[in-house]
Structure 1
Amino acid sequence: MLDSIGVAPAPALLGGKWIDDGPVAERVGPFVRTVVSRARTADRADAVAAAEYARSAARSVAKLAPATRAATLDRAAALATERREDIARLIALELGKPIKDGLGELDRVADTFAVCAAEARRIGGDVLPVAGWERGIGNTALTYRAPAGVALAITPFNAPANLLAHKLGASFAAGNSTIVKAPPQAPAVSAAVVALLLEAGAPVEAIQLLHGGGDIGAALCAAPEVAVISFTGSAETGAAVARAAGAKRLVLELGGNAATIVCADAFLPAAARNCARTGYTNSGQSCISVQRIYVQRSRFAEFVDLLTAEVQALKVGDPLDPSTDVGSMVDDEAAERVLSWATEAVDGGARITVGGTRDGATLTPTVVADPAADASIVVREVFGALVTVLPFDDFDTVLQTCNTSRFGLQAGLFTNDIGRILTAWRELEVGGLVVNGSSNFRLDHVPFGGVKDSGFGRESPHHMVEDYTVVKTLLLRDLSIWGEN
């Protein structure tokens, strides 16, 4: 997986062949500060060639029986478990993500491929009740879910293995040929996951992998051969994807500035511990990472003290150290941006209770208490190792406050009051609510996605297979399985 000088190669997979000759881009690890991977980058001609190849390749992939696709995905799940340490190490090197979090991500990759296998076996259709209406008497109508054809998967850096497994696994389960546009920050991880599915038995016609920036993504989105696009990333880039794609089916999982509400009846030590653990996983670089914590005023000071103590106990350092809780962010610029927003909040009257410093791309886990309601760390997506804590007085009012966000991905709620739980589930403008947990919790086989600027569509294998397939109808005139009178 590493060459003789310790650099991981990230070749392109184009037209059925791995390609490493041509222009390359080097990835410097944000923690180790040296080159850790080298990707063969694509140009617009490669994007055109990939789309044309995928159009013809899609026909052969579609001929694979669902059971054949499922068996391949089950083997991929087993291989993900076998290769978990190697790929987790790549994640740590390319992204600064702690090795224990990378190992957890590979466990999720295995689960995701296994769930995709199960969904492949469930693909079917319906016999429609056409004879229930007079004009349908004497006829039969059937449907089945057919592959969409060519799918485009544009993946983000923050969970490069598992989010690729979701998109690629579901698309292959559906019977498509998939073009993967990898994140520039994690090219070797992306190549490793693609290679894993091929080793498991997927035909080479099923996958292509291109490395590059936004220009390559835009060219692929605009390609007429592409039928469906699944994108995970920022709201701004998601809007650009939609503009470039035109009239194509889209699944957009975009940004968030997730809120977690802590009510007075909550068990505060557990809530603080949970928020500390889930607010700084992957240095807060998750669309559902804990960002805004609203605590009932009567317990606000107590919670801030508990959270501060929990955050102080997190170990920050080398992502390859198994005991490290928080590694580096994706690059120096990201860490500096978050720190500047924290400084801006302090200038506006907030206080930093812990953290507030950085060393290169490593931002010490930071808690900002009582920022202004219009501070950047409240209204924008932080996507970094920073959590804000704000007081609230009235439950209905705090729900309205949460809903002022342009985002609506997921929320957390700590309470034992079933009335509040049901009210929050009904009133919060989010795609999911986690009770007695923070916003940052996900099961890979459960529907996941947002509303408003957090996107549309749902990223779980079952729902993604629906997005990656089309319903085809068969009408049998004057031939009926129903009564004819």
Structure 2
Amino acid sequence: MLETILATRTADAVVEAPSYIAGRWVTDGTWHDRQGPYLRRTVSRSVAASEQDIAAAVAYAPAAAKTMARLSPARRAEVLEAAALAASVRRDDIARLIALELGKPLKDGRGELDRVADTFLVCAAEARQIGGEVLPVAGFARGVGNTALTYRAPAGVALAITPFNAPANLLAHKLGASFAAGNTTIVKAPPQAPATSAAIVALLLAAGAPAEAVQLLHGGGDVGAALCAADPVAVISFTGSAETGTAVARAAGAKRLVLELGGNAATIVCEDADIPAAARVCARTGYSNSGQSCISVQRIYVHRSRYDEFLDVLSTEVKGLKVGDPLDPDTDVGSMVDDAAAQRVAGWAQQAVAGGAVLTLGGALDGATLQPTIVAGPAPDADIVIREVFGALVAVLAYDDFDDVLATCNTSRFGLQAGLFTRDIGRIITAWRELEVGGLVVNGSSNFRLDHVPFGGVKDSGFGREAPRQMIEDYTVIKTLLLRDMSIWGQTR
């Protein structure tokens, strides 16, 4: 199936994305078209999951979980290593799918596939490390004469609900870690990227994963809600908005949850920063994927003494970004996911200007493409400051006192990740301690991530950490063995 999905490379081809249910690819049902936001034509089609499809997937999952639990960690690692190699080999083909379905530039899609390969490799390494421990029970009087051991067992059935903005790598994180843990995984793909999702699932199967390892269903929130509520599902990993995350938790009930939700990430530029370097980084990471990332640079707080200088350099750097066809290898900024998203962001920019801000660059719309936009000096309560923009817009604000700007950053309901440009180790430690975020990037913007490093937020940005080692902990359960009157520690009290 991987070859079939990736075979259509002509300019006007439509990629078909079937479901994968109970060990077979399913093409029966109602097909839904995905309109490419840049090409403005149908680029892919997917089979919407019916109630019968959902029931079939849920019914199949428990037996599939038993089969997967018997697959050795060594074999899981070998499959993941093969999948990593395949991701590198098919890098350009899948990046092209991403560009078609989402308007994401080829260079960003290729970078995403590099991360997919890394993610699968890290998952493979972590699969080889799954184990347990011998507990020191004889250290307490009641434990003398006994032995206790633990190991991490697969949770059973995992549900992965993935977003559109990084459909390949975020699926690789969820599916790769779940597979490494020995689970069967039901994937609910984003409606905006059905073919990309199908390609990643097909890639893992082609790498040698058993049919029982994964199922793939397409559809909207109703499909996700039905799967969340399904009794066999033991753990749910969801990436998306805070509002949808609340709905997932409500539908799931008493299930283990890993929620990576929204953000409105802040980056602080201190007076001792290398301003040209900081501006270059913020320009590059504020508009990659048209700003459609939960850690994209959204709010930049610059010390007032360097504010004008920074704004000038940032504007120059952003003007140098190439905007246009995502299939052009030189394009830096493609389209947003759809017209409505682009219109929303442009509208928020105009609202900020009406409230006294200055639109220093961008703001123009061409369908789903928003010209990279800089808004200087918005009001503290402007939507572009307090809400998640998730678009090609960056707000720049001045600050006077370091402690005050930390407090300002913390007024956000979100707390995913922040950036800090300074050479002052005291400020670095203070910010790391005081900022209410899951991660701090020093001498970089908020928009930087290593896939083997713990990633996740606090407050309305969710809970749990998305890195293979931490995810495997979420995807497994600790099982304890107590051996009465059999001790490796000695019998004498």
Which secondary structure does the structure 1 equivalent of 2:55 belong to? helix
After TM superposition, give the deviation of residue 47 of structure 1 in Å.
1.4
After TM superposition, give the deviation of residue 158 of structure 1 in Å.
0.2
Query: Where does 1:312-461 land on structure 2 (aligned, <5 Å)?
Result: 312-461=319-468
2:383, 2:164 → 1: CA distance?
23
Residue in 2 that maps onto 1:41: 48
Residue in 2 that maps onto 1:270: 277
2:141, 2:408 → 1: CA distance?
52
Is 1:136–2:143 an aligned residue pair? yes
State which drifts further: 39-48 or 394-403. 39-48
Contact 1:2/1:9 (8 A) holds in 2: no
Query: Where does 1:113-192 land on structure 2 (aligned, <5 Å)?
Result: 113-192=120-199
| 2:318 alignment partner, one of 311, 314, 322 | 311
Residue in 1 that maps onto 2:3: none
Which secondary structure does the structure 2 equivalent of 1:287 belong to? coil
- Which structure 2 residue ranges, 5 or more long, are not aligned? 1-5
Q: Which amino acid aligns with 2:272?
A: D
1:280, 1:341 → 2: CA distance?
16
Residue in 2 that maps onto 1:60: 67
Contact 2:137/2:147 (8 A) holds in 1: yes
1:142, 1:20 → 2: CA distance?
47
State which drifts further: 204-213 or 47-56. 47-56
| 1:257 alignment partner, one of 254, 258, 264 | 264
2:52, 2:400 → 1: CA distance?
58
Contact 2:29/2:50 (8 A) holds in 1: no
After TM superposition, give the deviation of residue 170 of structure 1 in Å.
0.2
Q: Which aligned runs of 4 or more in structure 1 are off by greater than 2 angstroms?
A: 1-5
After TM superposition, give the deviation of residue 2 of structure 1 in Å.
4.7
1:7, 1:475 → 2: CA distance?
58
Query: Where does 1:77-116 land on structure 2 (aligned, <5 Å)?
Result: 77-116=84-123
| 1:289 alignment partner, one of 287, 296, 300 | 296
After TM superposition, give the deviation of residue 44 of structure 1 in Å.
2.3
1:483, 1:370 → 2: CA distance?
71
1:178, 1:44 → 2: CA distance?
18
| 2:308 alignment partner, one of 281, 301, 319 | 301
Q: Which amino acid aligns with 2:137?
A: V
TM-superposition CA deviations, 1:3-57 (whole Å, max 9, x none) = 5861111000011110112101100100001100000110222212211101111
Which secondary structure does the structure 2 equivalent of 1:462 belong to? helix
- Which structure 1 residue ranges, 5 or more long, are not aligned? none
1:483, 1:279 → 2: CA distance?
62
Which secondary structure does the structure 2 equivalent of 1:475 belong to? strand
1:361, 1:458 → 2: CA distance?
32
Q: Which amino acid aligns with 2:183?
A: N
Q: Which amino acid aligns with 1:55?
A: P
State which drifts further: 264-273 or 13-22. 13-22
Which secondary structure does the structure 2 equivalent of 1:122 belong to? coil
Percent identity at matched positions?
76
Using structure 2 for the length normalisation, give the TM-score.
0.98
2:113, 2:47 → 1: CA distance?
24
TM-superposition CA deviations, 1:116-146 (whole Å, max 9, x none) = 0000000000000000000000000000000
1:212, 1:185 → 2: CA distance?
10
1:398, 1:48 → 2: CA distance?
51
2:263, 2:17 → 1: CA distance?
30
Q: Which amino acid aligns with 1:88?
A: A
1:86, 1:453 → 2: CA distance?
36
TM-superposition CA deviations, 1:158-188 (whole Å, max 9, x none) = 0000000000000000000000000000000
Q: Which amino acid aligns with 1:260?
A: T
Contact 1:259/1:292 (8 A) holds in 2: yes
Contact 1:48/1:223 (8 A) holds in 2: no
Q: Which amino acid aligns with 1:210?
A: L
Is 1:479–2:491 an aligned residue pair? no
| 1:232 alignment partner, one of 232, 235, 239 | 239
Q: Which amino acid aligns with 1:379?
A: I
1:224, 1:43 → 2: CA distance?
18
State which drifts further: 17-26 or 39-48. 39-48
Contact 1:48/1:220 (8 A) holds in 2: no
After TM superposition, give the deviation of residue 250 of structure 1 in Å.
0.2
TM-superposition CA deviations, 1:294-343 (whole Å, max 9, x none) = 00011111111111111111000000001000000000000000000000
1:9, 1:80 → 2: CA distance?
20
1:2, 1:198 → 2: CA distance?
17
| 2:249 alignment partner, one of 224, 242, 246 | 242
1:155, 1:319 → 2: CA distance?
22
TM-superposition CA deviations, 1:386-431 (whole Å, max 9, x none) = 0000000000000000000000000000000000000000000000
Which secondary structure does the structure 2 equivalent of 1:429 belong to? coil
1:247, 1:49 → 2: CA distance?
23
Is 1:195–2:233 an aligned residue pair? no
Equivalent residue pairs, number:
485
1:443, 1:20 → 2: CA distance?
37
1:389, 1:188 → 2: CA distance?
37
Q: Which amino acid aligns with 1:305?
A: D
2:427, 2:273 → 1: CA distance?
12
1:297, 1:158 → 2: CA distance?
34
Which secondary structure does the structure 1 equivalent of 2:101 belong to? helix
Which secondary structure does the structure 2 equivalent of 1:280 belong to? helix
1:214, 1:43 → 2: CA distance?
13
1:52, 1:473 → 2: CA distance?
29
1:131, 1:52 → 2: CA distance?
44
Which secondary structure does the structure 2 equivalent of 1:143 belong to? strand
